[in-house]
Amino acid sequence: MNSFNKIIVYIIIVLIYAITRKFLQKHLCIKDSFIYHRKNNLHLWLEVTVLIILFIGFFIWGFVYMRPVEFYYYFGLFSIFLAFRTVFEWKFDKNSKRYIVSILDSVMFFIVFVISLLII
């Protein structure tokens, strides 16, 4: 697959994601804010811990095992991070329905990660 076709695939994925996200926010009355507010201190510290563990894993993968860390691995990393965030939103703030958008975010990044693995 040449570079132009790869770009087209990514653009189509992002468009589908953006349309689906706007649809969900509009019909489920989900407020979206640019700044993310954590639910409590436990959420903050566990989120920081997950990020540190994931970056240590990337460090070990890249420098200890001498494997290249490709750019699309970060899509997988961000997908795991958003999945963790979704669990906390679902557990501590079910009424806001914000976790539905977070599920969509996590799934989108996972799909981009898998497609990147397959076409690169």
Per-residue pLDDT of 81-104, as tens digits, reads: 899 889 988 988 888 888 899 999
Q: Output the DSSP codes for 11-56.
A: HHHHHHHHHHHHHHHHHTT----SS---SSHHHHHHHHHHHHHHHH
Specify whether the CB–CB gap between 104 and 98 falls below 8 A.
Answer: no
Mean pLDDT in residue range 100-112:
93
Question: Residue 34 has what pLDDT?
Answer: 63
Residue 11's contacts (CB-CB under 8 Å, 6 or more residues apart) are none
Predicted TM-score (pTM) of this structure:
0.82
Measured distance CA(36)–CA(7) in Å, rounded: 29
